[in-house]
Amino acid sequence: MSGEQRKISVAYATAVSLGAIIGSGIFVLSGTVISLAGALSLVAFAFVGFISLILAFELGELTSVYPELRGSSYSFAYEAFGSNLGFVTGLLMYFSYATSVPAIALGFGSYLSALLGFGSPLLYTIALIVVLHVVNLLGVQKAAKTDFYLVAIKVAVLVYFVVFALIVSKFNPSHFTIPTNAGYGFFESMQGIIFAYSGFQSVSTIAPDVKGGGNGAAKAIVYSVLISFVLYVLVTVSLMSLAPASSFKIAADPLSFALNYVHAPDYVYLVVDVGALMATTSATLATILTSANVIYQVSADGLLPKFFAKYDKKRDVPVNGILITLIISIATLFAGNVYVIASISNFGLLFTYLMTTLAVFKLRRQGVVGSFKTPGYPYLPMVSLVGLLVVFVGMPKEALLIGIITTFVLLMFYAIVREGKRASPEKVRLFEEIEKFFEGHKT
C-alpha cells in the first residue's frame, strides 16, 4: 500500500475533529453552561461559535502553509515567532489537551453509571482512558476509522434527541429564563463552550496523514466547526425545552437529566445514553491523539528531550507521548468536578488560540500565504483577538492564576537554559522592533 493510500480522507479527518468537538461539549458541559447563563447560553454558544469559526479559518490557513507539521498552534507559533514563544505555546497546549481528556471521559463514566444503575463513574472513567490509549497505540488509521463510525452514530442520536424534545415539550418559552446573576454567569459559561469547541485543532496535528495535505486538513477543520455549531444550538434549545433553565446544575450527564425531568420512556434513555457513551468515547479518543502529537512535535523541534519524540513509524503513532498523556489524564481526574477540570485546561487553550491569530498576522506580513486563506483578513482575525480576550474575562480566578504562573515559569525556564548556553547575553532594542512591526502593517 502506497503512502497516499494509507492516508485518511477529508471525511475521516472531519470525523476526528467532530469526535473531539461534539463529545467534549454538548454531551458533557451543555447543562453546566445553561446553569450559569440560562437562556443567554444560546447567545454565548453563538458568540463563541463565531469566534471558533474564525479560528478554524486561521488554523486552516496555517495548516495549509505547514502541512508537514503535527504540532498545530504550537508549530505555527514556533515557525512564526521562534523557539521562545514556541516552547511556551507547545507546553501550555499539551497540558491543556492532556488535562481535558479526563473532563471528557468523566462524561462517559457518568452516563454509563446512570445507564447501568450501579458502579462508580470514576472507575468507568479510568477504564475508558486506559482502553483508548491502547487504541491510539494501535495507529492513527485505526483510531480515525473507529472515530468515523462513532461520529456518524452520535450525530444521529443528537438529531433523535432534538426531535424527541421538540415533540414532547412543544417548545415551552417559560423554560427559557435568565438567572439573576447572569451578568458574570454569561462570561463564565463561555469557559464551558470554548472548551467544547476545542477539538477542531485535532485535525491540524494529523495533517500529514490527510489526503490533500494541508488543504484537505483545512477543509476538515472548517466543516467540523460548522456542523458542531448547528448541533450545539439545536441541542441547547432542546435541553431547555425539556427542563427549565433554572433546574440545570453542574453535572457531566445533562441529556440524561433533561430526559429524567420529563420522565421519558426507557427506550429513549437507552438510545441517548448509548449515543452519549459513543460521543464521549470518540472525543476522548481524538483528544488523546492530539495531545500526543503536540508533545512529539515539541520534542522533534529540539525543545524537549528526545525521549518525548519516540515515534512508531509502522503504526504511525508517538508512543511515549501517548503514555505520558495517560499518566497526566488519570492524575488530573482527582482535581475536582467536570467544570473545574475543564477550566484548568482552558488557559493553555486560549493562549494557543491567541498565538494562532498572531501567527496569521506575522506570516501575512512576511508574504507567507497558504492554499487556504482566512476570509476577511485582517478584520476577522482582529475580531477573534477581541473575542478571545472577552472569553478570558469569565475564567475562574484560580485557573487564571495557575495559568499566569505556569506561563511565567516556562518563560523563566527557557530564558535561563537558553541564555546559559550563550557566550554573551542576547540584547535587542525591543520597542524599535515593535515600531517596525506596526509600520509594516500600515504599509
| Per-residue DSSP letter, 377 | T
Q: Looking at residue 362, what is its pLDDT? A: 92
Q: How many whole angstroms separate alpha carbon 6 and alpha carbon 254?
A: 39
Q: Looking at residue 146, what is its pLDDT? A: 61
Q: Looking at residue 421, what is its pLDDT? A: 65
- For 369-379, what is each residue's pLDDT tens digit? 888 889 999 99
Q: Looking at residue 239, what is its pLDDT? A: 93
Q: Give the start-to-end residue ranges of the domains of the chain.
A: 3-442
Q: Which residue has the higher pLDDT, 260 or 436?
A: 260
Q: How many whole angstroms separate alpha carbon 211 and alpha carbon 207?
A: 8
**pLDDT, the chain, mean:** 83
The fraction of the chain above a pLDDT of 70, given in percent, is 88
- For 193-233, what is each residue's pLDDT tens digit? 888 787 777 777 677 778 877 778 888 888 888 888 888 89
Q: How many whole angstroms separate alpha carbon 340 and alpha carbon 192?
A: 10
Which is nearest to 354 in space by CA: 315, 327, 386? 386
pLDDT-derived band at 163 (thresholds 50, 70, 90) equals very high
| Per-residue DSSP letter, 264 | -
Which is nearest to 209 in space by CA: 345, 348, 13? 13
- Position 3: which residue type? G
Backbone angles phi, psi at 168, to 5 degrees: -70, -45
Mean pLDDT calculated for residue range 295-305: 85
pLDDT-derived band at 424 (thresholds 50, 70, 90) equals low
Instruction: Tell me how many degrees the CA angle 355-183-405 measures, rounded to the nearest 5.
Output: 40
**Cα distances (Å, whole numbers) of residue 404 to 102, 378, 401:** 22, 28, 5
Alpha helix stretches (DSSP H) within 117-181: 121-137, 140-169
pLDDT of 106 higher than 60: yes
Alpha helix stretches (DSSP H) within 198-337: 213-242, 254-261, 266-300, 319-332
Q: How many whole angstroms separate alpha carbon 29 and alpha carbon 159?
A: 18
pLDDT of 443 higher than 60: no
Q: How many whole angstroms separate alpha carbon 257 and alpha carbon 398?
A: 29
Residue with cell 497526566: 328
Q: Looking at residue 2, what is its pLDDT? A: 46
CATH fold of the domain at 3-442: Amino acid/polyamine transporter I (1.20.1740)
Q: Which residue has the higher pLDDT, 141 or 102?
A: 102
Mean pLDDT calculated for residue range 288-296: 83
Which is nearest to 31 in space by CA: 191, 252, 225, 345? 252
Please give the helix or strand (H or E) that residue 116 lies within, else none.
helix 83-116
Q: Looking at residue 68, what is its pLDDT? A: 78
pLDDT-derived band at 171 (thresholds 50, 70, 90) equals confident
Q: Looking at residue 434, what is its pLDDT? A: 56
Q: How many whole angstroms separate alpha carbon 115 and alpha carbon 191?
A: 28
Mean pLDDT calculated for residue range 157-179: 88
Q: Looking at residue 360, what is its pLDDT? A: 94
Please give the helix or strand (H or E) that residue 342 lies within, else none.
helix 338-365
Helical pair 10-25 and 140-169, crossing angle rounded to 10 deg? 50
Q: Looking at residue 386, what is its pLDDT? A: 94
Which is nearest to 392 in space by CA: 422, 357, 349, 425? 349
pLDDT-derived band at 144 (thresholds 50, 70, 90) equals low
Mean pLDDT calculated for residue range 243-258: 86
Backbone angles phi, psi at 210, to 5 degrees: -100, 135
pLDDT-derived band at 327 (thresholds 50, 70, 90) equals very high
pLDDT of 285 higher than 50: yes
Number of alpha helices (DSSP H) and beta strands (DSSP E) in the chain: 17, 0
Q: Looking at residue 242, what is its pLDDT? A: 92
The fraction of the chain above a pLDDT of 90, given in percent, is 22
Burial of 105 (0-12, 13-18, 19+ CB in 10 A): buried
- Show the 3-state SS of 231-260: HHHHHHHHHHHHCCHHHCCCCCCHHHHHHH
Q: How many whole angstroms separate alpha carbon 155 and alpha carbon 275?
A: 8
Q: How many whole angstroms separate alpha carbon 276 and alpha carbon 147?
A: 14
Handedness of CA 196, 214, 132, 310 (dihedral sign): negative
Q: Which residue has the higher pLDDT, 172 or 177?
A: 177
Q: Which residue has the higher pLDDT, 112 or 70?
A: 112
Q: Which residue has the higher pLDDT, 128 or 292?
A: 128
- For 340-367, what is each residue's pLDDT tens digit? 777 778 889 899 999 999 999 999 988 9
Helix (H, G, I), strand (E, B) or coil at 146: helix
- The b-or-e profile of 345-365 (16+ CB within 10 A means b, else e) is bbbbbbbbbbbbbbbbbbbbe
pLDDT of 1 higher than 50: no
Mean pLDDT calculated for residue range 294-318: 82
Backbone angles phi, psi at 298, to 5 degrees: -60, -45
pLDDT of 303 higher than 50: yes
* 246 close to 80: Cβ distance less than 8 angstroms: no
Q: How many whole angstroms separate alpha carbon 168 and alpha carbon 160?
A: 12
